[in-house]
């Protein structure tokens, strides 16, 4: 039941600095924990987050075991033209999720 | 004579405040003890991780299952109207068992009786998601738990347990949450223990959790044997705490450190 919460302003003026906020559902299991019987709990984290705007990569982050569950990633960008933000999260065990949001720039 | 009487009265009130319940005007949600960045997490739906469970719950609300092949929505329709204010009245009196049940237990009894499906385990993702989704519909509404007169003996028993010293540390809930809520324990605010935001996302848990989970953690903290999930003692404590918070605003899904 993975799901993402995205907050992108629907409208902006050309040249405005806008904040993009993303929240992805993920347990971010570190790989350093053991069960009560001593077996290692295998690592299961998101390893990479990418944001593209109209096909061009504008933000990328690598994620590591110390990052908390349900990673909340926010960043700023400049509104240049109307278009679509595409978000992608990739992780262990074949984890792959995408989301998108549109913006109108006037 | 008069000044002496006034001093005596003042002394009496002062000693009464120390040992008794928090006055209505001094009641504070756990939210008000948090730092600005944690408050911001709760305030904004796209920053509040609890909303991930609410979204899951919304999907589960419409999923048909069980021998009767019914979804919650088939009987209850749109939760935005049918579930508005419901969570603000729980735990509530259950006629069938003659006891109070909390919202998780109510959802599970609906699941086994009406959907004829297997009940969900306590703290499972699905049960938390449905509870969060139902509770969310009461956000901002005043807590009304305990209005039903049939609940009175159970509230009283919950209140006794709240005042009862127990465990190796020999502490009652009231020793911290009534008498010392304005102080800190290992750097963290003690708070008044008003369950306004459950189920809520605790940063420490890195997950959503129920009020029963929170109570069990507190009971373990005073080194007493925690009651099992669903135990009548826990439900009575939940009931007492919710009726103690009557009139305060529902925050679910809350965020707490």
Banded model confidence at residue B16, pLDDT cuts 50, 70, 90: very low
B18 is catalytic: no
Q: Convert the pLDDT of each residue in B32-43 to its tens digit.
A: 999 999 999 999
Residues B123 and B190 in one domain: no
Domain boundary among B88, B110, B136: B136
In a domain, A93, yes or no: no
Quote the pLDDT of residue B31.
Answer: 97
Domain with A17 in it:
4-32+41-85+100-105
Mean pLDDT throughout B45-52? 96
pTM for this entry: 0.90
Number of domains comprising chain A: 1
Last residue of a domain, one of B120, B136, B152: B136
- Label residue B237 by pLDDT band (50, 70, 90): very high
Chain B positions touching A9 (Cβ under 8 A) are none
pLDDT mean over B17-27: 76
Under a CB-based contact definition with an 8 Å cutoff, are residues B180 and B190 in contact?
yes
Q: Does some domain include residue A13?
A: yes
pLDDT at B21: 83
On whether ipTM exceeds 0.85, the answer is: yes
In a domain, B72, yes or no: yes
Across chain A, what does the average pLDDT equal?
95
- Omega before residue B219 within 30° of 0, cis: no
Here the CATH number for the domain that contains residue A80 is 2.60.40.10
Residue A21 lies in a domain: yes
B31: distance to nearest CA of chain A, Å? Answer: 20
Structure tokens at A95: 């984890």
Three-class SS of residue A96? strand
Which residues 121-140 of B have a C-beta within 8 angstroms of A?
125, 129
User: CA-to-CA distance for B234 and B122, rounded, in angstroms?
Assistant: 13
Window B:12-41, CB contacts with A under 8 Å: 41
Q: Which domain holds residue B132?
A: 50-136
pLDDT over threshold 90, residue A38: yes
Structural domain count of chain B: 2
Biggest CA-to-CA distance, chain A: 60
Check CB contact under 8 Å for A7 and B59. no
In the annotated binding site of B for substrate, the residues are: 214
Same domain? For B119 and B160 the reply is: no
Give the count of Cβ contacts less than 8 A between chain A and B. Answer: 40
Q: Is B246 among the domain residues?
A: yes
> Are the beta carbons of A7 and B47 separated by less than 8 Å?
yes
Q: Pull the structure tokens for residue A1.
A: 């039941």
Does residue B154 share a domain with residue B122? Answer: no
Residue in B with minimal Cα distance to A74: B47
pLDDT digits (tens, 9 = 90+) for A60-83: 999 999 999 999 999 999 999 999
**Are B56 and A69 within 8 A, CB to CB?**
no
Q: Which listed residue (B17, B217, B218, B224) is catalytic?
A: B218
Residue A1 has a pLDDT of 56
Q: Do A1 and B49 count as a contact with CB atoms less than 8 A apart?
A: no
Residue A23: its chain B contacts at CB < 8 A? Answer: 46-47, 49, 51-52
Question: Which residue is closest to B44 within chain A, CA to CA?
Answer: A7
Query: Which pLDDT band, with edges at 50, 70 and 90, does A2 fall under?
Result: low
Q: Is the pLDDT of residue B7 over 60?
A: no
Is B26 part of any domain?
A: no
Put simply, whether B47 touches A (Cβ < 8 Å) is yes
* Residue pLDDT, tens place only, B175-216: 999 999 999 999 999 999 999 999 999 999 999 999 999 999
Structural domain includes residue A95: no
What pLDDT is attached to residue A3? 83
pLDDT over 90 percentage in chain A: 97
Residue B11: per-residue pLDDT = 41
B16, part of any domain: no
Q: Are residues B123 and B154 in the same domain?
A: no
Q: What proportion of chain B, given as a percentage, has pLDDT over 70?
A: 92
Extract the tokens encoding B94.
Answer: 């259950």
**pLDDT for position B17:** 38
Nearest to B47 among A3, A21, A25 (CB): A21
Rounded average pLDDT over B67-93: 97
């Amino acid at each position: 039941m993975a799901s993402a919460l995205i907050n992108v302003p629907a409208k902006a003026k050309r040249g405005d600095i806008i904040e993009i906020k993303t929240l992805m559902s993920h347990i971010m299991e570190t790989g350093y924990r053991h069960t009560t019987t001593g077996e290692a709990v295998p690592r299961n984290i998101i390893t990479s987050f990418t944001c593209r705007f109209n096909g061009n990569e504008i933000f990328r982050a690598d994620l590591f075991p110390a990052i908390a569950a349900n990673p909340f990633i926010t960043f700023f960008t400049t509104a240049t033209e109307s278009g679509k933000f595409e978000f992608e999260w990739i992780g262990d065990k074949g984890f792959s999720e995408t989301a998108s949001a549109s913006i109108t720039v006037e | 004579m008069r000044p002496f009487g006034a001093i005596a009265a003042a002394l009496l009130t002062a000693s009464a405040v120390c040992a008794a319940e928090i006055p209505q005007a001094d009641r504070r949600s756990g939210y008000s003890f948090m730092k600005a960045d944690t408050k911001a997490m709760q305030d904004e739906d796209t920053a509040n991780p609890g909303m991930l469970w609410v979204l899951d719950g919304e999907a589960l609300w419409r999923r048909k299952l069980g021998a009767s092949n019914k979804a919650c929505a088939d009987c209850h329709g749109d939760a935005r109207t049918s579930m508005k204010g419901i969570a603000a009245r729980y735990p509530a009196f259950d006629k069938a068992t003659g006891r109070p049940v909390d919202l998780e237990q109510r959802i599970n009894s609906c699941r086994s009786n009406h959907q004829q499906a297997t009940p969900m385990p306590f703290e499972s993702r699905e049960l938390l998601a449905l509870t969060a989704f139902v509770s969310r519909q009461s956000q901002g509404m005043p807590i009304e738990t305990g209005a039903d007169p049939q609940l009175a003996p159970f509230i009283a028993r919950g209140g006794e347990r709240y005042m009862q010293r127990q465990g190796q540390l020999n502490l009652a809930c009231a020793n911290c949450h009534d008498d010392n809520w304005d102080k800190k324990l290992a750097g963290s605010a003690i708070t008044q223990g008003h369950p306004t935001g459950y189920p809520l996302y605790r940063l420490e848990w890195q997950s959503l959790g129920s009020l029963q989970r929170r109570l069990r953690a507190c009971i373990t903290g005073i080194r007493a044997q925690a009651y099992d999930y669903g135990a009548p003692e826990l439900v009575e404590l939940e009931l007492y705490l919710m009726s103690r918070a009557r009139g305060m605003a529902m925050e679910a899904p809350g965020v707490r450190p």
